[in-house]
A and B are shown apart, each in its own frame.
Chain A
Amino acid sequence: MTDLHDDLNDDERWLRTRLEAIHTPATLSRRYQAILERGRSLSPRRWSVARSLAGAAVLAVLIGAAGAAVGIRLRGHSPAPALSAVAGPVGTPSARVDAAMAYDPANGTTVLFGGSGSAGVTGDTWVWDGEHWHEQATAAEPAPRAGASMAYDPQSRRLILFGGVALSPLPPGSCPPPMLPLDRPYLNCQELHLTDTWAWDGGRWLAEKPQHHPLNPVSATVMVTDQVRGAVVLLEYGRSSPPTSPPAAVQLYEWRGGDWTALDSTGPSPVLEQWSSLAFDRSSGNLIFFAAQGTCSPADFCAAPVPITNGRQQTSALKDSSWSSKADGPALVMRGRLVEDGGRTILLLGETTTSDQPSMWSWSQDRWAPVSAAAMPPAGPTAALAYDSARDRVIAFGGTAPLKPLHCLTEACSPHPINETWEWDGSHWELVSPGVQPTPLPTPTPAPTAELTPPPFPSVDWSSQNYPVNCGGKSTGSVAAYANPEPGANLAVVLATCRAGAGSPPVTVLVYDDSGPGGSPHLRQTLLSGEDNWLPAPNGTTVSGMDLSITVYGYSSEAVPRCCPDLHTTLTWKWSGQKYVATKTEPPHLNYQFPSPSA
């Protein structure tokens, strides 16, 4: 059946959008079946038809929990009770971040594809029926990827999946260690930006063959169903290349008739490039775009939560083909993701710089208002989000937890992917599928460390030492590795930084021995100072015999944001009998300029 909405005029489309806020109650299909049941007095021919429709659903009711265990159950909502058996074994998707997820109203399910987890980038497909995840076995499917975009196409009644990032086929171990931010490691490996388009028809992935592709291959995309256009709209926003050049303005595309068409737009289009998100606002018929971009001071590295004062947020609305700037967005939100919340509002799940807990905001009448909830998905904006219009629930899956400062470099605060499923009913978040324990992200596997048995400095609190770093205040540190390059040389390689305050060196790398009073730490050598402006990677320090190596990140120029170093290398030293001697020349990079004392 074709969509006959195409000939509606503007007034009629306006009313259609309004009435789409009416959600079909979950009980409709049961009442429908009950009426069919009462129709047993129908002629055998009539009943055979009714039974053919209701049979699967009734069977599912009868077998109840047993049915769920084998992947057959009755959906508690319309549409199509006769198609209510969700295929595929029941299970739980593995922990992951940057999966593509969207609600499929044609089949009444929420579909999850791909993402990045501890096993790397995945290409599996899962369906959430409101109670269980079902893994889908498909003959053909998109290549494994993370960061793909997915939305429902009301014209073809299929989900459209576009793009994403895959890892190029490099030998294991050749991918460099994750750069910052830590929860998106694939962005720092060998990226392969994909531009293929796929369609999910409820049971199969179908490769689309559009004549045109969006895309600057280094851009990123967000996608949403535009209920006014009655089509999928894709927004390409520029991750410019090289990263030091200004980000490009967004470009809009529409999926119609099996092809991507670039759309012209006017007005001040948004240009922010990080954490961009898009949602359809049913109340206004506008597309709402939100982006947050944070920059940070060196003191943010490895520090406790520190307010980041120079972050930017941007909210824009697209009506017809015209952009308009809206509110700047909730202050302090460093990362955020939008999701439609039925006829109510648009929700923004955000991460602020002042808390390691997610925050939530709603968009109404051109402004953001905070929303409080007793519990929230711990992954906040890193979770995949979708709105189930039949059940009037927002679904959140996966992401990374706990949320911590973006630039935390210590292992203790590294976020981990999770596989929890949460649902939001308009007033409460509920954990509906707890998943399993978090699995650590892939991190560099250090060579066996020459740890002493027992290690030196057994009673030293390294976090509260007075380190020779240019803080003007309190400093802190942690041991990156212990070393015993020769008998009697009991060493600790320590990463020290300031607890807070601008103008301090990012990280200082120090070597201590145990020659202090009573075996206490004694500074033996400074390997890297603050001026060197190298940021050691978490778990990036390795010791092997007389050799020491540290994987570090740096900046090619002042134009590179502090949050996102664009260089990485591995520096090496060898023990000379008295100290470590550098065996590798440092590559060119930007040194850190301390503010003058009078400034």
Chain B
Amino acid sequence: MYDSDAEGTQPSPPASLEAGLTFEDVYASLADAVYRYCRSQLRDPDLAEEAAAEALAHACQAFPRNRPEPSWVRAWLFRIAHNAVADQARRAARRRALMGRLLMRPTPGIDVESAVDVRDDLRTTLSAMARLPERDRAIVAMRATAGLGYGEIAEILGMTEEAARVAGHRAIKRLRTAVQGHD
């Protein structure tokens, strides 16, 4: 389903699964955070919802086989969500390119920040996040929406923990300065 198969490439989950943890628990605890993460990465709320739904469904299917233990399940799920976001972004880019060729004119990106359901302060935040480099945007969003540790983020994004920490701190400082300057 994804360009990077989460089932095959994610960090090896421990073999043991704490008794009682079900995907129902995972969904109840983290579905909102997954959507927030997807929404913070994709400017189109519809694409974000599709990415979140795909990530959750994929995780549901993979859960009994991967058997992530409770201390790892958050990073495991957000790795899937990160891949789902990347996949949606690529699909959207392909659609835009195709539409551009068909219509013989460039197709602007979807300015979803103008959607009525996006509040002013959130719109400002998302606009500022959209200007961050993709990797930095993912780092700060994984911290803010799921509270992932930098070690976990580093494994998901394929970088060192120290590099993730430095990039995250710098990015969120820039982000806050930009948003508060706008406020």
Contacts and interface: CB of A to CB of B under 8 A. Distances in A.
Given A14-B176, A19-B141, A28 B121 contact: no
A342 B121 CA distance: 12
B27 A22 contact: no
B119 A343 contact: yes
A243 to B, nearest CB: 42
Contacts of A35: 53-54, 57
A157 B28 CA distance: 10
A282 B36 CA distance: 15
B23 A53 contact: yes
A282 B148 CA distance: 22
A181 interface: no
A50 B64 CA distance: 10
For the complex, would chain B's binding face be called helix, strand, loop or mixed by DSSP majority?
A: helix
A49 B63 CA distance: 9
B183 to A, nearest CB: 9
Given A20-B36, A21-B119, A105-B32, A28 B49 contact: yes
A45 B62 CA distance: 11
Nearest to A80: B28
Contacts of A53: 23-24, 27, 60
Contacts of A344: 119
A515 to B, nearest CB: 71
Interface string A16-44: 10111111110111011011100100100
B160 interface: no
A5 B33 CA distance: 12
A21 B121 contact: yes
Contacts of A343: 119, 121-122
Interface in A482-504: none
Interface in B32-67: 32, 35-36, 39-40, 45, 49-50, 52-54, 56-57, 60-61, 63-64
A22 B60 contact: no
Given A24-B31, A78-B35, A79-B32, A8 B60 contact: no
Contacts, number: 145
A22 B146 CA distance: 14
B57 A78 contact: no
A4 B149 contact: yes
B25 to A, nearest CB: 7
B145 interface: yes
A403 B179 CA distance: 43
A355 B70 CA distance: 56
Nearest to B28: A80
A235 interface: no
Contacts of B61: 36, 39, 42, 46, 49-50
A264 interface: no
Contact of B49 (A7, A14, A25, A45): A25
Interface in A271-325: 282-283
Contacts of B144: 8, 12, 15-16, 18-19
B143 interface: yes
A80 to B, nearest CB: 4
A38 B70 CA distance: 28
Contact of A15 (B23, B30, B53, B172): B172
A1 interface: yes
B6 interface: no
Interface string B101-143: 0000000000000000101011001000000000000001101
Interface residues of B, number: 50
A403 B129 CA distance: 47
Interface string A322-364: 0000000000000000000011100000000000000000000
A379 interface: no
Contacts of A50: 57, 60-61
B50 A31 contact: yes
A20 B144 CA distance: 9
B35 A24 contact: yes
A243 B61 CA distance: 63
B31 A25 contact: no
Contacts of B125: 15, 18-19
Nearest to B23: A53
A392 B143 CA distance: 24
Contacts of A29: 31
B143 A39 contact: no
B42 to A, nearest CB: 11
Nearest to B40: A19
Nearest to A3: B147
Contacts of A28: 31, 35, 49, 52-53, 56
B82 interface: no
B4 interface: no
Given A28-B35, A81-B27, 13 more contacts: A8-B147, A11-B169, A16-B145, A19-B141, A20-B36, A21-B119, A21-B121, A27-B49, A35-B54, A39-B61, A53-B60, A79-B28, A344-B119
Interface of B: 21, 23-32, 35-36, 39-40, 45, 49-50, 52-54, 56-57, 60-61, 63-64, 70, 73-74, 117, 119, 121-122, 125, 140-141, 143-149, 169, 172-173, 175-176, 179
10 contacts: A1-B73, A4-B74, A4-B148, A12-B144, A19-B122, A20-B36, A32-B53, A35-B57, A79-B27, A82-B23
